[in-house]
Structures are given as structure tokens and as C-alpha cells.
Amino acid sequence: MSYFVFKYQDNKFRSVEHIDTFESYKEARTLLKKLRKEKSPNNPDAYKLVYAEDMLEAEMLILEKRDAPILREWEK
């Protein structure tokens, strides 16, 4: 399995652009931090890291609609 770095745009139609693929988490995380710092300091969610078997699975995971987490009483 590999680590995929994507540029993520959450506008009317969600879209992703593949940036790079890595075998080690450390290398992928380093690139992700660099991209977030240099290209999107005001929007850290513009770049995302996904761990998946292949590119198709990575794109499906990143575009998947997720439910909002349930807040517990002590988290409010």
C-alpha cells in the first residue's frame, strides 16, 4: 500500500489532483507539510494525504462523503 498526496478542491463539484505517491509515511508527510506551508497557508485542507492500495481506491476514499462526528456531552 502507498501514500498518495492530493490537492483537494471542495467547491460545487469536489475534485482532486494527484500530486505524488510515496511508499513511506515520513516522505509523504514532509511533502504535505511543505505544500500546505508554501501554497495554502490559509487553507490547510487544500492538500490531503491518503493511505490506499492503489490510485483508484485513494480517489474514492478522498471523495467519499463522511458524516459529521457525533459530539459527546463533554465535547460541547
Residue 76 lies in a domain: no
What was the pLDDT predicted at 9? Answer: 85
Residue 75 lies in a domain: no
More confident residue, 6 or 42: 6
Whole-number pLDDT of residue 76: 66
Q: Is residue 73 part of a domain?
A: no
pTM: 0.79
Q: Is the pLDDT of residue 43 over 70?
A: yes
- What domain range is 29 assigned to? 2-66
Q: Which helix (H) or strand (E) holds 49?
A: strand 47-52
> What confidence score (pLDDT) does residue 56 get?
94
Classify residue 56: in a domain, yes or no.
yes
Q: Give residue-wise pLDDT tens across range 1-34.
A: 999 999 988 777 778 899 999 999 999 999 999 9
Strand ranges across the sheet with 2-9: 15-22, 2-9, 47-52
The C-alpha angle 7, 13, 17, rounded to 5 degrees, equals: 20
